[in-house]
């Protein structure tokens, strides 16, 4: 077993994030009497300062909250929508011959839902005053924070991508002013300040939701978007509203795994687990290659359905009940050849009726547990920074398809397909774990690997995250792209050569990851509740700069 460090323990509460400072701030809020939700919001705000290429108020948010007072798991979809004034034909004309919406720039914009999500979470589950949650990030943004080593590497690579993007020519001055020092990204250990972000958070702390989505600040954002050639306007910002949703679940072994419904991709985790669950534990693990072959094939099958059916349920009919059923999984499992890699899978024949990221989790002394993920999609999002705001606007609009017959086709006022997915697990009818693995298409793959490590192989939360991972790249995409069906299986070092050789013998194309940024295999965090000892047990991604802290 590969292990980076021992799991963290906490009797009264816990934070697991990808940045040490964010975990520290969250635990401090818990010590001051804050709820797990208070701590999660404060930590998320700090993350937008310490890893701004991943998240911020210009992005979206999804969360699940276990409320011990009502013994209920609540789901929140705080993702934004496409601009109401931009119809399909106008967008198609603006794109010219492009087959997809660009990953950066003004046409990739959708409204940011994160701030609305913070406000909704606090209104329902907060204990401290809303302004108290932002006091730490305001102080740190003004004083400056040292940049972590892994963060600095990602920051530099992401900045190079922004500055070299031809679609952002003439639009990068606010980015340079906000995120570069002397024309370059900060190096590890250097101090980064963001006084503009401090002012934005001061406004949110004082005025709440209206301070961001209404009035002068919203008009400033809208003016910046218009000047860049985008279509999100002040009316779109004012209309932004999150939704409380019912989490979906499936039974895997003796656990109930919960994910949020589309427009996110959480359902693919349930689909993959349902296929794996048709195999006995012995059949999966008598040889490690058996598990990895079956996992890769189950991922291919689920992602074909993802590309065909996952979309905003308010705008398309999504066959959730069928796709997450055990019977459907059994039918799909029959397509898997246990001895050969598949390359020609397509989506299931399901009848329709009509019609870069950060993850954190938190827990408090009352038993409230939070699974929260927040993102601006690509590194630094769209690359557009409203002058004087201190944050970037997301590029989630790039997730839409341009195929008129596709469930995820672009339409005004519609939520795009989303990659970010928080997860929650119940065991014996009791809350057992909140977890997430950030990283676009890696998120479902990473969640399944971590979950099977813990449920089937009895690993603790840290060991489950330390274990080497694989990532399959290929197949149909929700925006209409079609990659090679067989694809490539990327893997970290740490796998036995005999396992890799066995996968190659079954026809898989295997590739060692030699660039951890290009071959990113996820940013994992988890908090598990040990009911026997009445303590929280946490694990944090060893590949990033964060930690788990308990008290």
**What confidence score (pLDDT) does residue 357 get?**
83
Helix runs in 76-148, H state only: 88-95, 114-125, 130-143
Residue 6 lies in a domain: no
- Structural contact between residues 350 and 28, judged by C-beta atoms closer than 8 angstroms: no
- Structural contact between residues 102 and 94, judged by C-beta atoms closer than 8 angstroms: no
Same domain, 346 and 378: no
Q: Which residues of the chain register pLDDT less than 70?
A: 1-2, 349-356
**What confidence score (pLDDT) does residue 350 get?**
66
Same domain, 35 and 82: yes
Same domain, 160 and 282: no
**What confidence score (pLDDT) does residue 72 get?**
98
Order of strands, sheet of 488-491, starting from the edge strand that comes earlier in the sequence: 470-473, 488-491, 510-512
**What confidence score (pLDDT) does residue 347 get?**
87
Count the Cβ atoms, other than its own, within 10 Å of residue 33. Answer: 12
For residue 539, what are its two tokens?
Answer: 């694990």
Residue 175 lies in a domain: yes
Residue 327 lies in a domain: yes
Residue 535 lies in a domain: no
**Which residues lie across from 491 on neighbouring strands?**
470, 512
Residue 4 lies in a domain: no
**What confidence score (pLDDT) does residue 349 get?**
65
Residue 381 lies in a domain: yes
Same domain, 382 and 306: no
In whole angstroms, give the CA distance from residue 348 to residue 25.
Answer: 46
**What confidence score (pLDDT) does residue 353 get?**
38
Print the domain residue range for 389: 21-243+362-399
Specify burial of residue 132 (Cβ count, 10 A radius: 0-12, 13-18, 19+).
Answer: middle
**What confidence score (pLDDT) does residue 263 get?**
96
**What distances in angstroms separate CA 276 from CA 292, 293, 443, 456, one per listed residue?**
11, 11, 17, 11
pTM of the shown model: 0.96
Same domain, 312 and 429: yes
What CATH number did the domain enclosing 300 receive? 1.10.246.130
- Structural contact between residues 13 and 550, judged by C-beta atoms closer than 8 angstroms: yes
Strand segments (E) across 364-517: 369-375, 423-427, 430-438, 470-473, 488-491, 510-512
Specify burial of residue 321 (Cβ count, 10 A radius: 0-12, 13-18, 19+).
Answer: exposed
Same domain, 27 and 172: yes
**What confidence score (pLDDT) does residue 4 get?**
86
Same domain, 204 and 114: yes
In whole angstroms, give the CA distance from residue 161 to residue 110.
Answer: 21
């Amino acid at each position: 077993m590969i292990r980076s460090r021992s799991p963290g323990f906490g009797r009264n509460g816990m934070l697991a994030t990808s940045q040490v400072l964010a975990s520290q701030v969250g635990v401090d809020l818990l010590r001051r009497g804050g709820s797990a939700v208070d701590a999660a919001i404060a930590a998320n705000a700090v993350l937008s300062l310490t890893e701004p290429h991943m998240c911020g108020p210009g992005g979206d948010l999804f969360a699940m909250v276990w409320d011990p007072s009502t013994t209920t798991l609540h789901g929140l979809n705080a993702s934004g929508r496409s601009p109401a004034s931009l119809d399909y034909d106008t967008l198609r004309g603006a794109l010219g011959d492009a087959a997809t919406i660009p990953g950066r720039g003004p046409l990739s914009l959708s409204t940011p839902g994160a701030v609305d999500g913070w406000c909704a979470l606090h209104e329902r589950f907060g204990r401290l005053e809303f302004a108290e949650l932002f006091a730490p990030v305001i102080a740190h943004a003004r004083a400056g924070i040292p940049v972590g080593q892994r963060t600095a590497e990602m920051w530099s690579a992401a900045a190079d991508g922004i500055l070299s993007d031809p679609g952002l020519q003439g639009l990068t001055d606010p980015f340079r002013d906000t995120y570069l020092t002397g024309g370059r990204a900060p190096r590890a250990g250097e101090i980064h300040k963001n006084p503009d972000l401090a002012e934005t958070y001061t406004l949110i702390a004082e005025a709440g939701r209206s301070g961001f989505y209404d009035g002068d600040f919203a008009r400033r954002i809208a003016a910046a978007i218009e000047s860049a050639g985008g279509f999100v306007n002040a009316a779109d910002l004012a209309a932004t509203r999150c939704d409380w949703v019912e989490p979906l679940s499936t039974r895997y072994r003796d656990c109930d795994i919960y994910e949020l419904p589309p427009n996110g991709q959480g359902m693919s985790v349930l689909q993959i687990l349902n296929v794996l669950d048709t195999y006995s534990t012995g059949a999966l693990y008598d040889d490690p290659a058996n598990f990895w072959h079956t996992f890769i094939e189950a991922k291919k099958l689920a992602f074909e359905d993802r590309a065909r059916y996952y979309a905003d349920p308010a705008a398309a009919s999504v066959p959730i009940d069928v796709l997450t059923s055990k019977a459907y999984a059994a039918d799909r499992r029959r397509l898997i050849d246990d001895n050969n890699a598949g390359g020609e899978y397509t989506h299931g024949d399901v009848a329709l009726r009509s019609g870069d990221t950060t993850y954190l989790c938190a827990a408090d002394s009352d038993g409230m547990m939070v699974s929260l993920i927040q993102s601006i999609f690509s590194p630094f999002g769209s690359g557009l920074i409203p002058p004087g705001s201190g944050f970037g606007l997301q590029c989630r609009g790039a997730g839409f398809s341009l195929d008129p017959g596709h469930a995820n086709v672009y339409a005004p006022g519609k939520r795009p397909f989303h990659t970010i997915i928080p997860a929650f697990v119940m065991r014996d009818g009791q809350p057992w774990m909140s977890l997430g693995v950030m990283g676009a298409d890696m998120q479902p793959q990473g969640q399944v690997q971590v979950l099977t490590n813990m449920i089937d192989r009895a690993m603790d939360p840290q060991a489950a995250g330390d274990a080497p991972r694989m990532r399959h790249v290929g197949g149909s995409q929700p925006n209409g792209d079609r990659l090679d069906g067989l694809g490539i299986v990327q893997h970290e070092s740490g796998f036995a050569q005999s396992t890799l050789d066995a996968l190659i013998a079954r026809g898989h194309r295997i590739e060692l990851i030699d660039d951890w940024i290009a071959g990113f295999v996820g940013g994992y965090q988890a908090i598990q509740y040990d009911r026997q000892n009445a303590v929280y047990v946490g694990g944090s991604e060893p590949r990033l700069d964060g930690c788990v802290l308990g008290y």
